Amino acid sequence: MTLNFDVIVVGSYSIDLIFSGLGEFPQLGKDVVGTDFKMSPGEAFISAVSMHRLGITVGWAADFGNDEFSRFALNSTRDEGLNESLFIFHDRPYRRISAAASYPNDRAFITYYDPDPQIPAAISALIKSQARVLYIPGLYSGDLLGVGVKLIRAKKMTLVMDGNSSSGDILGNSKQSKSIRKAINSADIFIPNAQEARRITGESNLDVAIRQLGELCPVIVIKDGSNGSYSYKNNELIHVPAISVNSIDTTGAGDNFSAGFLRAWLDGFPLEICQEWGNIVGGLSTTALGGTTRKITCEQVRKYLKFNG
Ligand X SMILES: Nc1ncnc2c1ncn2[C@@H]1O[C@H](COP(=O)(O)OP(=O)(O)O)[C@@H](O)[C@H]1O
Q: Quick one: what does residue 19 bind among ligand X, Mg ion, none, with the CB cut-off 5 to 8 Å set by partner type?
A: none
Among 253, 259, 296, 301, binds ligand X (CB under 6 A): 253
**What is the Cα–Cα distance from 301 to 309, expressed in whole angstroms?**
10
- Shortest separation between residue 197's beta carbon and Mg ion, angstroms: 11
Helical spans, DSSP H, in the chain: 44-53, 68-80, 121-128, 145-154, 175-186, 194-201, 206-214, 253-266, 271-285, 298-308
For strands 189-191 and 219-223, give the pairing: parallel
Using a 10 angstrom Cβ sphere, with 0-12 exposed, 13-18 middle and 19 or more buried, the burial of residue 87 is middle
**Phi-psi region at 252: left, alpha or beta (left = phi > 0; alpha = psi -120 to 50):** left
CA torsion, points 243, 246, 250, 256, in degrees to nearest 10? -40
- Shortest separation between residue 254's beta carbon and Mg ion, angstroms: 3
Among 42, 65, 148, 254, binds Mg ion (CB under 5 A): 254
Among 131, 225, 264, 296, binds ligand X (CB under 6 A): 225
69 vs 257 by CB, closer to Mg ion:
257
77 vs 256 by CB, closer to Mg ion:
256
Q: Which residues contact 252 (CB under 8 A, 6 or more apart)?
A: 42, 46, 50, 285, 290, 291, 292
For residue 276, how many C-alpha atoms fall within 13 Å in the half-sphere facing its CB?
14
Contact track, ligand X, 255-294, x by CB under 6 A: --x--------------------xx--xx--x--------
**What is the Cα–Cα distance from 30 to 170, expressed in whole angstroms?**
37
65 vs 228 by CB, closer to ligand X:
228
- Shortest separation between residue 143's beta carbon and ligand X, angstroms: 25
Which part of the chain contacts ligand X (CB under 6 A), choosing from 46-54, 128-136, 239-247, 293-301?
239-247
Among 254, 264, 292, 304, binds ligand X (CB under 6 A): 254
Among 12, 102, 201, 229, binds ligand X (CB under 6 A): 229
- Shortest separation between residue 77's beta carbon and Mg ion, angstroms: 21
**What is the Cα–Cα distance from 200 to 209, expressed in whole angstroms?**
8
| Cα distance between the two ends of the chain | 43
CA torsion, points 95, 96, 99, 103, in degrees to nearest 10? -160
The answer to whether 247 contacts ligand X (rule: CB under 6 A) is yes
Q: Quick one: what does residue 224 bind among ligand X, Mg ion, none, with the CB cut-off 5 to 8 Å set by partner type?
A: ligand X
Among 76, 164, 231, 292, binds Mg ion (CB under 5 A): 164
The answer to whether 76 contacts ligand X (rule: CB under 6 A) is no
129 vs 256 by CB, closer to Mg ion:
256
Which part of the chain contacts Mg ion (CB under 5 A), choosing from 96-104, 119-127, 158-166, 300-308?
158-166
**What is the Cα–Cα distance from 13 to 39, expressed in whole angstroms?**
13
Binding site for Mg ion (CB under 5 A): 164, 193, 254
Binding site for ligand X (CB under 6 A): 193, 223-226, 228-229, 242-243, 245, 247, 250, 253-254, 257, 278-279, 282-283, 286
